[in-house]
Amino acid sequence: MLHGQRFERYKDFACVMPALFFLALFVYYPLLDLVRISFTNWNLLKDDYAFVGIKNYKWLFAGSGVKQLKNTLSVTLRYTFWEVLFSLAGGLLLALLFDRMTRYFNVLRALVFMPKYIATATSAIVFVWMLNGPHGFVNWVLSLFKVAGPDWLADAKYALAGILMLTFWRSVGYAMMIYLSAMKGIPQDYYEAASIDGADGVHCFRYITLPMLAPTTLFLLVTTFISSMKVFQSVDVMTSGGPYDSTMVMVQWVYDLSFRQYRIDRAAAGSLVFFAILLLFTVLTMRYSNKSVNYDQ
């Protein structure tokens, strides 16, 4: 009897042990090692390295790295803001449109969602061709309307907009599918009761649809924010952070520090700052959601 009770006590723990082992091996250990590296002077061009204290953080916050960090955070946050805005707003608008559509619904929905399945690097190469100055497809379309398009990826003022075009094309379908699934779960009784009370479509959307979609919107907000803060492949393929660092997002900057400047120590310090920003946003969002979003609706 005692042996059976002991087995039941440790059975659940034994079931999660493999997952905990791999989590510790591939997540927590690399994170702790990253902290250790950030306090060294590890350069890939040198054979050895030593402990240097907070020297890398001084470079980051009080040295020549300040300007780079400010520019990188500015570019990353601007990119993230527009991606979150366009993806969520576009996904919601498409979901509202397709929710009322019956004919060709499945075909159109699949076409909008399909870019999500295409490899990011492949999509980026296609968009490099489409945005290739006067020879690109986008500027050719603009020329039909007598509009002279810019050299999208070579102009510092428009390079980030060019990357955002690719991002919107890839992400809006995912947001649309999530919103559509959530809208299918809203009881129709609410809309019927509102119509009896004289509410029109705008009032139904404002007072029924939007509040009921609040948990879904929060989920998309957090996931889209995190994914956009980690953007790398599309930027590296399309601009490599240029021109003039106008598209130098956080991960691209860390990559350049590591494998183009060979400063693993500074890259580790920058990565930890990046991690702290993501962690802070996630914690604040979760605290807000516990107070403002009702998941029992």
Query: How many whole angstroms separate alpha carbon 236 and alpha carbon 255?
Result: 10
Residue 242 φ/ψ, nearest 5 degrees: -95, -175
Give the largest CA-CA distance in the chain. 86
Residue of 204, 219, 5, 198 lying closest to 91 (CA atoms)? 219
Is the confidence at residue 291, as pLDDT, over 90?
no
Coil vs helix vs strand at 263:
strand
Lowest model confidence (mean pLDDT) among 158-172, 189-203, 258-272: 189-203
Q: Which domains, and CATH codes, for the chain?
A: 57-292 (1.10.3720.10)
Render the burial of 139-164: b for 16+ CB within 10 Å, e for the rest: beeeeeeeeebbbbbeeeebbbebbb
Q: What is the pLDDT of residue 172?
A: 94
Q: What is the pLDDT of residue 235?
A: 96
Q: What is the pLDDT of residue 133?
A: 81
DSSP letter for 243, please: S
Q: What is the pLDDT of residue 75?
A: 96
Q: What is the pLDDT of residue 287?
A: 81
- pLDDT tens digits along 144-194: 998 888 999 999 999 999 999 999 999 999 999 999 999 988 888 888 888
Coil vs helix vs strand at 40:
strand
* Total Cβ atoms within 10 A of residue 66: 13
As to burial, measured by CB atoms within 10 angstroms (0-12 exposed, 13-18 middle, 19+ buried), residue 274 is: buried
Is the confidence at residue 245, as pLDDT, over 80?
yes
* Total Cβ atoms within 10 A of residue 195: 13
281 or 240, which is more confident?
240
Query: How many whole angstroms separate alpha carbon 221 and alpha carbon 289?
Result: 11
Going by C-beta distance under 8 Å and a sequence separation of 6 or more, which residues neighbour residue 140? none
- pLDDT tens digits along 44-102: 888 888 999 999 999 999 888 899 999 999 999 999 999 999 999 999 999 988 887 76
Query: How many whole angstroms separate alpha carbon 72 and alpha carbon 94?
Result: 32
pTM, whole model, 2 decimals? 0.88
Q: What is the pLDDT of residue 7?
A: 62
Residue 138 φ/ψ, nearest 5 degrees: -65, -45
Tokens of 176: 């649309």
Q: Once rounded to an integer, what is the mean pLDDT over residues 232-252?
A: 94
Q: What is the pLDDT of residue 190?
A: 87
Q: What is the pLDDT of residue 83?
A: 96
15 or 124, which is more confident?
124
Give whole-number Cα distances, 288 to 17, 58, 77, 283, in Å: 33, 33, 20, 9
Going by C-beta distance under 8 Å and a sequence separation of 6 or more, which residues neighbour residue 135? none
Is the confidence at residue 296, as pLDDT, over 90?
no
Q: What is the pLDDT of residue 137?
A: 92
Is the confidence at residue 273, as pLDDT, over 60?
yes
